[in-house]
Each structure stands twice: as structure tokens, then as C-alpha cells.
Structure 1
Amino acid sequence: MSSTPPSPPPTPVPPPDAAADAQQVERAAELLAGRPFVVLTGAGISTDSGIPDYRGPDSPPRTPMTYQQFVGDAAFRRTYWARNHVGWRHVHRTRPNPGHEAIAAMEGRGAVVGVITQNVDRLHQLAGSRTVIDLHGTYADVICLSCGTRVSRDELAVRLEALNPGFAEAVGAVADVEIAPDADAVVESTEGFVVADCAVCGGLLKPDIVYFGENVPKERVARATALVDAAEALVVAGTSLTVLSGRRFVTQASRAGHPVVIINRGPTRSDHLADLRLEAGTTPTLRALATYL
């Protein structure tokens, strides 16, 4: 079987009533006008591309794997890679939605100076955004924890398929499997799945993703901090700001006296710092905002 993903499906279009109130969008545009701003994004911006989130109002309860579980238990690693072997095919074929495209368009016009994303799907880059900091890494790369060798997820897919011929087909068609965040999939049984070790040293391979319980690399935090420092405002789109890794930038912008606009369905942990809070879908709201900026 070829590891080449199928052609991407059409980008889903959210219902028109998911947009923020027109007056709120105008107010956001007034706050941001003439102020180069950073956009901080979370899983909520990718749900319209068919990638579910962890904490959205309609999301089922999920228990993500921790870094300690992954490195400390072979059974957890087998479960992760078996589920990922199925789920990555779905994420790999997803495409940017109009929300991603709106951000890229505003960057092209000079309104947006860069994107800090908590997502690992690389949809901002595919949409055309040039300055993107993948705060939590990316599903598209894999790293050896022993020797530091990096390989692409595409390359690893070939090895996993050779080690586990027919596994994905036995689980079921990708369209029939419940997809979880971070290129994961709900797979009932992973018994017998063979995990690939590093081809160079035989060490543990891990996706280049910051797991729960793992710290964001300091260099990456420093770049994101500098980007927020260089901007004059911050827009938060599609994240509940539950984890500190993203929330810190809202605090940073607020302390600097820069306007903070939050667009999210459901409350966030930094609502008290927002100059304007829009309870709305990110895709239509960003599209509306882009008509002003």
C-alpha cells in the first residue's frame, strides 16, 4: 500500500450565523487599526478544517498521553504509534480553512506581524502565513530522543506500514474512524502493533510535539516573546488558554498596555485581560475582521 495520502476533501464552510456580531467586529477593527498585531491560535481555528479540539464546548472528554507515559512505558508508545498510524492520514489530508486564509491575507497587508500557534497541523503555513511559530511543535516531524536524528512523518509512515501491513485497513477506513487531536485516532485494539525505532541508533522515536508534562523549548518561547514584544496588539483565536504556554503571551501583551482581542466559543482563562471578548466562531469572525484590516 502506498503511504501517499488521498486527495484533500473540500474545506468545510461554517454556518453564517457563527460569526461575531457586526458591531463587535467593527469594535475589534477599531482597536487594531494601525497597530501591527500577533495572532495566537489554538485548536478552535482548525475545527472548521475537520480537526477536533480538546476543550471546545462540544468536545467529548479526552485524556491525552503525557510525556512521562510515552517515554516510560513501551505499551503506551505502542498505543500512541498505532493510533497515530491511522490518525495522521486524516490530519495529513486536511486543508486550511478561510480563517487561516484570513490571517495570511492580513499578514500580507502588514496588519499581522506573525502567528504563534498551539496547533501542530501546519495549516497556517499551508494557508500562506510566512511568520509562524509552532509553539507545540508539528506532527510532520519525528525526532530520536537518543541521538537527535530527525525524519519526516512521511518517511516514518513507510516504515510503519512495512512493519504493520494491513493494520490501518483492519481498523477501518479513515473516514469511519473517530479522529482525535494531534494526529491521533480512536483505535480499540493496538495489540501486536510493531513500533519503529530510530534507524540510526535504535533509540526511541517521538513526534516533534510538546506533550502534556513537557516544556516548550526555551528558544521557541524566546522567539514568541520577541514577536509579541515587537507587536502593538494581540488577537487570540480559538483557544481556551488553559495551558500556560499560550496564556503567558496574553499576560505579556496586557502588561505592555497593548489591546487584547479574544475570539473563542466558550470562556478562556484570560477573559479578564481582554479589551474585547467575542463569543463566536473563529473562521467567520476572522474573515469579517479581514475586511477591515
Structure 2
Amino acid sequence: MGFTVVIDQFSTATSSPGLNIRDTLERSVDGLRDLLDGKRTVVLTGAGLSTDSGIPDYRGPDSPPRNPMTIQQFLGDPEFRKHYWARNHIGWRFMDGSAPNAGHRALARLERDGKVTGIITQNVDLLHTKAGSRNVIDLHGTYAQVRCLTCNHRVSRHSLSDRLDELNPGFAESVTAATGVEIAPDADAVIEHTAHFRMADCERCGGLLKPDIVYFGESVPRERVAAAYEMVDNSEALLVAGSSLTVMSGLRFVKRATKLGLPIAIVNRGYTRGDDVATLKLHAGCSDVLESLAAG
């Protein structure tokens, strides 16, 4: 249906020796700009957009094998849940301190210029909001809120962190000093020794606390999905940035755009499940492409 442009050192060196990587990028972005020109564009973003901010993705070409936690594990295994909270107590700080990259800033600029009407993000890192984007649907929630599964009371992750520090004095400092920290997606950190970690329950009812993000195996709230569908329905084009579209959570919006007959552009390193319906696919990093798009 569409066509793919591959932007990497091998393709430019072997197929067009007279072009450098920047020439190829700019010509490809020109095609993307022509496709989206004058159209109300909604952007669907995934973890590949945030890698330039130091946040790893799940399925990028260079990503290690990952076994993301499921909602069944979190609810059904107290030891697993303790291990998770210990990892999260370290990892969320890194995500909280992360800064938007050029791709996030470019999308915020495109929104201010009236070219992007809204963003649907599968990321939980709040980097779109930090960059200045206003019309953002955090499809899977964000790392910054924690919810009680019994009474639905919500508290900030900062507030819970203070309580966990009191229950586990010196834990964060000792883990970081002893082993360093490898950050995993969804505000996790890769650490092993967590048996002595103490969890916190809801201060209101004593119920189970859970980060207010959608885990694997859990459904996105219906009203959030409906709002995202409405955003696509009111658009004239869909741009996917940094998502492999492996899970239906994001792929459904590509299917919706296809049904509506909207042009679909995808910017992502590697294969995506939307490639066969894309009007244009750029196999490239998000930051460079989006920054060039906004500059035009």
C-alpha cells in the first residue's frame, strides 16, 4: 500500500554513494512533510521515542530480552510484588529525573504551530507533558501516581517514596552504591536482592497499592480508549513514532485510521505491525526525523 525508506549507514553507502546520511534524512522528511502538509495530524508514540532520553524500550533492535511483569503476577504473588516494589522504588527516580529529548520538543512545537492536534502515548514517562505538549492522552497512565485497588484512593509517587524510605532506611543508597542500577522500562530497575524490602499499604483502608499504569494483561480504561478514538476520528492523518505496534493497545488506532482512510506515516527503527498499511514508513530514529519535520 505504501513505501518504506530505510535510513542507515549501510543503505546510503551502498545504494547512493553520492548522498550522505543527512541528505537522505532530509529527502525522506520532505516526503513525510508532503504527506502530512495541511492535515490535522494525531501522533501515536511508543518507547522508541524516549530512548534518546535514556529510557530503554521493550522491543527495539538493540534491546535485550525482557519479561515485563503481568497484572496476574502482581496480584497473585506477594513475593513477586515485593520484588517489584523494591525495583520500582529505585527505578522511578530515574524516570522522574529524565528530560524530554529533541523528538518530544519537536512534537510540542508542531502542536503549538497547529500541525499536530494531539498525542496518544503508550509511554508512562510524562516526557510529552514536560516538553510542553498540551493535548496528551497517557494511554497506559503515568509513573507519577499510585492507586489503591480497594478504595481507589490516589497518591503521588513522591509521597509514597517518602513512606518507603521510612520503611526501608538506606535501601536506595545501598543498592545504588553496591551494584549500580540498570534501568528497565516502566520505571523499574534491575536489582536482585529484595527479600528484606518492606512494602506499604494504603493509608486510608490498608488496601493493595499499585502504580497507576496499565500492566500487561490489564485493560486500558474504556473512557481513555474512547477519548483516543475520538482524537483519531477528528484527525486527517496519523503519525506513529517509536512504536513497534506489537500489542493491540496501540495497533487499534492504526486499524481505526486505516478504516477511516487516513494516511498513515510510521517512523520507527525496525519492523512494526502497521508496516503493511502505512502510506510511508521511515526506518529511522525519531528525534532526527521529528526535529527536521518541525524545523520545516
Q: Which residue among 198, 205, 224 is the counterpart of 1:201?
A: 205
Alpha-carbon deviation of 1:229? 0.4
Partner of 2:5: none
Q: Superposed, which structure 2 residues align to 1:1-293 within 5 Å?
A: 21-173=25-177, 176-292=180-296
Give 3-state SS (helix, strand or coil) of 1:105's partner: helix
Partner of 1:9: none
Kept after mapping to 2: 8 A contact 1:237/1:263: yes
Give 3-state SS (helix, strand or coil) of 2:74's partner: helix
Deviation readout 1:44-94 (Å, 9 max, x if unpaired): 000000000010000001101100110111111101100001111111100
Alpha-carbon deviation of 1:176? 2.5
Alpha-carbon deviation of 1:21? 2.3
Alpha-carbon deviation of 1:23? 1.6
**Which amino acid in structure 2 is aligned with residue 113 of structure 1?**
T
Report sequence identity in percent.
Answer: 61
Kept after mapping to 2: 8 A contact 1:20/1:280: no
Alpha-carbon deviation of 1:24? 1.4
- Aligned CA distance change for structure 1 residues 241 and 199 (closer, same or farther; 3 Å): same
Most deviating of 96-105 and 22-31: 22-31
- 1: CA distance between counterparts of 2:155 and 2:177? 26
Instruction: Please give the TM-score of this superposition, normalised by the length of structure 2.
Output: 0.91
Give 3-state SS (helix, strand or coil) of 2:144's partner: strand
Which structure has the greater CA radius of gyration? 2
Deviation readout 1:176-235 (Å, 9 max, x if unpaired): 310000110000111110000000000000000100000000000000000000010000
Instruction: Please give the TM-score of this superposition, normalised by the length of structure 1.
Output: 0.92
Q: Which runs of 5+ in 1 are unaligned?
A: 1-14
- Aligned CA distance change for structure 1 residues 172 and 20 (closer, same or farther; 3 Å): farther
Q: Which runs of 5+ in 2 are unaligned?
A: 1-8, 10-19
